[in-house]
Structure 1
Amino acid sequence: MKFLELVLQNFGPYCGKQVINLNPEIDEENSRPIILLGGMNGGGKTTLMDAIRLALYGHRAQCSTRGNLSYSDFLTQCVNSHTDPVEKTRIELVFEHIENDKPVKYRVVRTWDKNPKDGKDHLGILDANEWLDTALANIWDEYIENLLPLGISNLFLFDGEQVKELAEQEIPPPIVVEAISGLLGLELAERLAVDLEILVNRKRKEIADIKYLANLEEIENRLKEQQKEYEIETLNLASLQEKLKEVELHQQEVVDKFISEGGKIAGERSQLEKQKSEITASAEKTRQVMCELAADILPLALIEPLLNQTYTQGEKELHIQETKIAHDLLVARDKRLLDLIHNLALGDDKVDKIKHFINQENQSLEETTTKQPWLLTNTETLHQLDNIIRHHLRSAKKNAEDKLNILQTKEEEIITLERQIQTAASPEDYQRLVDDLQQAQQQVAEAKASWEITKRRLDELDSNIRNTKKELENYTEKNIDRQNKEHIIYSAAKVQDTLKIFREKLTLRKLNKLEVEVTECFRYLLHKSDLVHRVAIDTNTFSLSLYDLQGKPVPKHRLSAGEKQLLAIAFLWGLARVSGRRLPVAIDTPLGRLDSSHRGNLVERYFPSASHQVILLSTDTEIGKQEVETLRENEAIAREYLLKYDSSTRQTTIQPGYFW
């Protein structure tokens, strides 16, 4: 199968008629797999994916924006806001596939008004000659199921969110489990089991006595009502789950607003003011201590050089006093010394030299003692001055410096607190923010309560259904004559057992092949080829387990976010390869949170090999300049388009080319 052309007219943000050539063939001989469409977030990429799904499946399409809307409301929602009321909205998808060993081309056309008649669109199927094929249009749902079954379409038409969800969950989401079951052919065995159960119930009715038939029908009717209510509650639970997500998101927005607009600080105002008051009081105490220091000897630090000079002068004067006391003693000693020298009868020249030396020394002492003291200090006073300079004053300066640093720190803390208090919301705004926050919290609480009540009701219904089925089984065993139809019921039970074994063996065989394909794809995409040697798939939940070369389990938490996404892509790729169907692959927002290494592997290895036709819907940050140049160098891109979104008109136009 190959998509050739997509035509959008007044669909979503696409106003007027716009045509996209999706044919991967460049000419008659050359073909390249990738059709690259670039667009910013909100520019209409997902709308293109929805258009393909809608064209193929109509009211059964699993479109991203449909949610719980009815098909009529969804079609109305898809109409472009600038569309004239008399104009129609139109989607056309041209595709080609092989039928009876020959290529066959069809154009699927769906049109509807802004308020669609009977809540439906109009479907037209045109063949290669543009002739309307009414017969094919009447059986289109069955026909497209043979080409691209809805159950496995998500393996070929998927988006980044689906990959993200698959990467983050231990067990694949229901939509992927459904696709796996369809791919493995398990739904056939399950459908046969259901058909057998219907047959057995029909035979029970046929052989039931008239007396007990009414009771049997009453049990069956009750079972139908319970199953119907269960389906309704299941849909209701899904709706409540979405509602819960919405109100939780709104609550987070309100909390962020509460913080950004100063609500949190306003709530802590009294505590902040108390803290400011305490710090202010502490700062005041520090100032008081500094005042006490200033009242003591600390001011002497201003004249510290003078104090040092005073101390030096005092030492000099004490030295002079000591010299005066020693002068007379030295003169008397010198006289005795000279008398001794005369008695020794030394030579006159030597005696003269000794006298000259003594006279010089005495003259020096006399010059020293002639200096007049003016400080008139004493030893004790000089010692006290030395203690003040060397110890007390130095200690006072250090203490003052420490207190000053403490005071500066506290003043900075006071300024910080004052700024915080100034950013606090006013009492009126604070009350409004608190009311909004309480309302959001109340909405979340109510949504959670509704969800829990519905979940309990669903569990209760599930239990009731099991009990009713058991009651129906017991009723049949006790009250129905199985003389003529016993072999059918008995055989059906045996077939059910056989089907169970068949399903298990079929699952094992298919999963073994799938494990090989997924392992090969993952190792091919992963740049750390020695990290994982084998990927195993659980037969019941289809969850993935990883093993290294020694057969030891590799915990999934060891994988980075990008490696988990590669594993999810490898899973989808392996499923598509096992399907054996030659189908195009369309990927919306394909690269997610991948780092440059993993992104390069995906660009070089997966996109060119995923299928014969790969439609990529990307932003400029996913497939960037480097990635698109790599794809161009590898001759992997057949066509490039840019979805140009005009925010003023909220319209998108499709232009040839890419961002670069």
Structure 2
Amino acid sequence: MIFLELVLQNFGPYSGRQVINLDTRSEENYRPIILLGGMNGGGKTTLMDAIRLALYGQRAQCSTRGNLSYSDFLTQCVNSKATPTDKTRIELLFEHIEDDKPVKYRIVRTWDKNPKDGKDTLGILGDDDTWPVDSLVNIWDDYIENLLPLGISNLFLFDGEQVKELAEQETPPPIVVEAIRGLLGLELADRLAVDLEILVNRKRKEIADTKDLANLEEIEAKLTQYQEDYQGIQAELATLNDLIAELETKQREALDKFMSEGGKIASDRSHLEQQQKDKTSTAENLRQSMCELAADVLPLALIPNLLNQVQAQGAKEFRYQQIQLAKDVLIERDKRLINWLSQLTIDLEQVEKIQYFLKEDTENLYTSNSPSEAPWLLADEESLSQLDNVSYHLQNAQKLAQQQLANLKAVEEEIITLERQVQTAAEPEAYQKLRDAVEDAQKQVIQSKAKAEITQRKLTELEDVIEQTKKELKEYTDTNIDRKNREHIIASVGKVQATLKLFREKLTLRKLNKLEEEVKHCFLYLLHKSDLVRTITIDTKTFSLSLYDFKGKPVPKHRLSAGEKQLLAIAFLWGLAKVSGFRLPVAIDTPLGRLDSSHRNNLVEKYFPSASHQVILLSTDTEIGKKEVETLRKNEAIAREYLLKYDSSTRETTVLEDRYFW
């Protein structure tokens, strides 16, 4: 699916008719990003609301609707300068594959300043934008659910506030939980389980006599009461968990203050002083070792040129000595060769030529290798070998000296750090005050967790009571009702429910395992810091994320920086979108939030060009600034650019094509 065009007419701050081309396709190359820049209050969020409204109408989760009725919301969306006779209109042209062929549809929603019957008028136009497809109008909600289900739309159409909320909370907000459940298909299984329960109860009542019916109703009343109590305790437990999260935050703040103001250092002062003493001793040992090196061959490193010269001269003289020895041997051999040749039936002239050649060759060998100057080193082979050993030991001594210098520098830096830590230790009175604050915060957390544990135990006990009551209800039916046909239905439903429960559990595990891997890969890809996290797990009930390092130990979320938390939230949404299997456009309002420069660069270079085949970015000048937009342009990632120019005097926004802030 790809959005091709968005048309706004008298909608919000957009006066008159304004057309935005969203098509990213080009014959030259592939560029996925549509960049729309605008200041806060200039109409960026209104564009996102227009896309949602076009797709889902009354069901749209628009940012400015709040608790307004649909009629009041439509009235609110009308441009303030529009006359009572002017129509407000939204058009969204998109293309998708249907029966292996590309098909285009234009969604058109229009309404007056005071909408008739509190609704808009929906029209669907076909390929040529002229003939209406009336058959789609009546089933549009079902049709769009197959293309882009409302439950998972927030994975593809989201804003920076949603990312901020997801980053700060330990468990995902309801809007993301709803998307996850829609992705996993859990709401369908839950709905089927409820429908089966209703069917069973109806069949029980149909086959029971008056007494049986009274007993059944009594058991059902108890079951209903237990379920209501369960919901109440569940709500109480949720409140306690929120309180625990708040108290844990206060505990971390107290501990951070304790650490920053020297409390922990003061408690470990003696340990730090001992460490400082040990490091000082290590430094002295290193210095002594370096002195021993300086007393050996290391000073020769000051005259490397002289050593090289001596080695070269020794090699020359040694070779000359070898040639001198070889000369005599060659002369004797040549004499024997001439005598032998003279005894053969070879012409005397030829023998003389051979004799002349051998003599000249020997003289040339001696002449070409004779030294240009008189030998002065006069070293024997053993001395030259010792000279090579000196060079070898000198190289080892130099490497060892460099290593010990580096070690000494590191130890000295550690000593300085330890001295600073000891100096920043808190005074006894301040230390006790900080420690009391930490202990008080810890005590509150422990008490709250104990209360939550008791509440959880009550919840578990009530679960057992509910299961026992359901079992009693089932046993009562099996024992007292003798209607084979309806009994068969009840028994079959029980088997279906058991199978459905098992299916739901296995489906959840299978999809969550895939989602965990996808979220981890996305997070590490965005973070470019592969040694932080090895595994990410997702709770099957709360869908909260848990991080583990390479030693299998948990990585608390509060240890992540604000930027890393936001990258984790974006990786979560990105992973969900990938696992969904839907090839859909991604629209992001306020895309960078409070990210620092390095994390911004990661999103700009890695996420935006890869998030989807079509990425619509709605940004201010401080988010995707001059540096970021130049990076996107350099990487050829931007297909089209628009500037939303807001005039505060008229309170109207104009869409300017082929322009951005820079």
Q: TM-score, normalised by structure 2?
A: 0.61
Whether contact under 8 Å (1:4, 1:23) holds in the other structure is yes
Whether contact under 8 Å (1:631, 1:637) holds in the other structure is yes
Aligned to 1:325: none
Where does 1:416-455 land on structure 2 (aligned, <5 Å)?
none
Measured in 1, the distance between the counterparts of 2:136 and 2:215 equals 46
Measured in 1, the distance between the counterparts of 2:564 and 2:121 equals 44
1:209-235 per-residue CA deviation (whole Å, 9 max, x = no partner) reads 25666897899899999999x99xx9x
Question: What is the CA-CA distance between 1:523 and the residue it aligns to?
Answer: 0.3
* Gap change, CA 1:554 and 1:36, over 3 Å in 2: same
Where does 1:377-392 land on structure 2 (aligned, <5 Å)?
none
Which secondary structure state, in structure 1, belongs to the residue aligned with residue 36 of structure 2?
strand
Measured in 1, the distance between the counterparts of 2:215 and 2:10 equals 57
1:341-391 per-residue CA deviation (whole Å, 9 max, x = no partner) reads xxxxxxxxxxxxxxxxxxxxxxxxxxxxxxxxxxxxxxxxxxxxxxxxxxx
Aligned to 1:407: none
Query: Aligned AA for 1:73?
Result: D
Aligned to 2:153: 153
Measured in 2, the distance between the counterparts of 1:590 and 1:473 equals 54
Query: Aligned AA for 1:19?
Result: V
Which secondary structure state, in structure 2, belongs to the residue aligned with residue 41 of structure 1?
coil
* Gap change, CA 1:40 and 1:467, over 3 Å in 2: farther
Question: What is the CA-CA distance between 1:528 and the residue it aligns to?
Answer: 2.5
1:60-115 per-residue CA deviation (whole Å, 9 max, x = no partner) reads 11111111111111111111111110111110000000111110000000011111
Measured in 2, the distance between the counterparts of 1:225 and 1:126 equals 52
Query: Aligned AA for 2:175?
Result: I
Measured in 1, the distance between the counterparts of 2:480 and 2:522 equals 57
* Gap change, CA 1:478 and 1:106, over 3 Å in 2: same
Measured in 2, the distance between the counterparts of 1:21 and 1:227 equals 53
Measured in 2, the distance between the counterparts of 1:490 and 1:73 equals 50
* Gap change, CA 1:472 and 1:617, over 3 Å in 2: farther
Aligned to 2:103: 104
Aligned to 1:198: 198
Query: Aligned AA for 1:621?
Result: T
Measured in 2, the distance between the counterparts of 1:195 and 1:472 equals 17
Query: Aligned AA for 1:552?
Result: K
Query: Does 1:615 pair with 2:597?
Result: no
Where does 1:259-658 land on structure 2 (aligned, <5 Å)?
483-655=484-656, 656-658=658-660
Which secondary structure state, in structure 1, belongs to the residue aligned with residue 155 of structure 2?
coil
Whether contact under 8 Å (1:72, 1:120) holds in the other structure is yes
Aligned to 1:90: 89
Measured in 2, the distance between the counterparts of 1:125 and 1:227 equals 46
* Gap change, CA 1:68 and 1:550, over 3 Å in 2: same
Whether contact under 8 Å (1:151, 1:179) holds in the other structure is yes
Query: Does 1:16 pair with 2:16?
Result: yes
Query: Aligned AA for 1:42?
Result: G
Whether contact under 8 Å (2:478, 2:487) holds in the other structure is no
Query: Aligned AA for 1:658?
Result: Y
* Gap change, CA 1:525 and 1:475, over 3 Å in 2: same
Whether contact under 8 Å (1:9, 1:91) holds in the other structure is yes
Measured in 1, the distance between the counterparts of 2:79 and 2:205 equals 54
Aligned to 1:61: 60
Question: What is the CA-CA distance between 1:185 and the residue it aligns to?
Answer: 2.1
Measured in 1, the distance between the counterparts of 2:619 and 2:193 equals 43
* Gap change, CA 1:597 and 1:138, over 3 Å in 2: same
Aligned to 1:436: none
1:404-447 per-residue CA deviation (whole Å, 9 max, x = no partner) reads xxxxxxxxxxxxxxxxxxxxxxxxxxxxxxxxxxxxxxxxxxxx
Which secondary structure state, in structure 2, belongs to the residue aligned with residue 649 of structure 1?
coil
Aligned to 1:35: 34
Query: Does 1:209 pair with 2:209?
Result: yes
* Gap change, CA 1:50 and 1:491, over 3 Å in 2: same
Which secondary structure state, in structure 2, belongs to the residue aligned with residue 600 of structure 1?
helix
Question: What is the CA-CA distance between 1:131 and the residue it aligns to?
Answer: 3.8
Whether contact under 8 Å (1:527, 1:597) holds in the other structure is no
Aligned residues: 433
Which secondary structure state, in structure 2, belongs to the residue aligned with residue 20 of structure 1?
strand
Which secondary structure state, in structure 1, belongs to the residue aligned with residue 593 of structure 2?
coil
Measured in 1, the distance between the counterparts of 2:467 and 2:618 equals 46
Query: Does 1:659 pair with 2:661?
Result: yes
Aligned to 1:79: 78
Structure 1 residues not aligned, in runs of 5+: 235-461
Question: What is the CA-CA distance between 1:605 and the residue it aligns to?
Answer: 0.1
Question: What is the CA-CA distance between 1:487 and the residue it aligns to?
Answer: 2.5
Aligned to 1:186: 186
Whether contact under 8 Å (1:207, 1:484) holds in the other structure is no
1:610-660 per-residue CA deviation (whole Å, 9 max, x = no partner) reads 000000000100000000000000000000111111111111111141100
Aligned to 1:142: 142
Query: Does 1:170 pair with 2:153?
Result: no
Q: TM-score, normalised by structure 1?
A: 0.61
Measured in 1, the distance between the counterparts of 2:639 and 2:49 equals 22
Deviates more, 1:172-181 or 1:488-497: 488-497
Measured in 2, the distance between the counterparts of 1:114 and 1:488 equals 54
Which secondary structure state, in structure 2, belongs to the residue aligned with residue 500 of structure 1?
helix
Work out the percentage of aligned pairs sharing the same amino acid. 82
1:151-193 per-residue CA deviation (whole Å, 9 max, x = no partner) reads 0000000000110111011111111111111112222322221
Measured in 2, the distance between the counterparts of 1:103 and 1:542 equals 37
* Gap change, CA 1:86 and 1:471, over 3 Å in 2: farther
Which secondary structure state, in structure 2, belongs to the residue aligned with residue 154 of structure 1?
helix
Whether contact under 8 Å (1:124, 1:132) holds in the other structure is no
Which secondary structure state, in structure 2, belongs to the residue aligned with residue 557 of structure 1?
helix
1:433-478 per-residue CA deviation (whole Å, 9 max, x = no partner) reads xxxxxxxxxxxxxxxxxxxxxxxxxxxxx9xx99999998798679
Question: What is the CA-CA distance between 1:204 and the residue it aligns to?
Answer: 2.0
Q: CA RMSD in A?
A: 3.4
Whether contact under 8 Å (1:514, 1:574) holds in the other structure is yes
1:258-303 per-residue CA deviation (whole Å, 9 max, x = no partner) reads xxxxxxxxxxxxxxxxxxxxxxxxxxxxxxxxxxxxxxxxxxxxxx
Which secondary structure state, in structure 2, belongs to the residue aligned with residue 30 of structure 1?
coil
* Gap change, CA 1:211 and 1:654, over 3 Å in 2: same
Measured in 1, the distance between the counterparts of 2:581 and 2:202 equals 38
Aligned to 1:50: 49
* Gap change, CA 1:223 and 1:72, over 3 Å in 2: farther
* Gap change, CA 1:107 and 1:541, over 3 Å in 2: same
* Gap change, CA 1:213 and 1:180, over 3 Å in 2: same
1:119-166 per-residue CA deviation (whole Å, 9 max, x = no partner) reads 111100001122444001110000000000000000000000110111
Structure 2 residues not aligned, in runs of 5+: 235-462
* Gap change, CA 1:582 and 1:84, over 3 Å in 2: same
Whether contact under 8 Å (1:90, 1:112) holds in the other structure is yes
* Gap change, CA 1:217 and 1:644, over 3 Å in 2: farther
Deviates more, 1:210-219 or 1:142-151: 210-219
Measured in 1, the distance between the counterparts of 2:188 and 2:182 equals 8
Which secondary structure state, in structure 2, belongs to the residue aligned with residue 627 of structure 1?
helix
Measured in 2, the distance between the counterparts of 1:128 and 1:193 equals 42
* Gap change, CA 1:23 and 1:221, over 3 Å in 2: farther
Question: What is the CA-CA distance between 1:497 and the residue it aligns to?
Answer: 1.8
Question: What is the CA-CA distance between 1:536 and the residue it aligns to?
Answer: 1.2
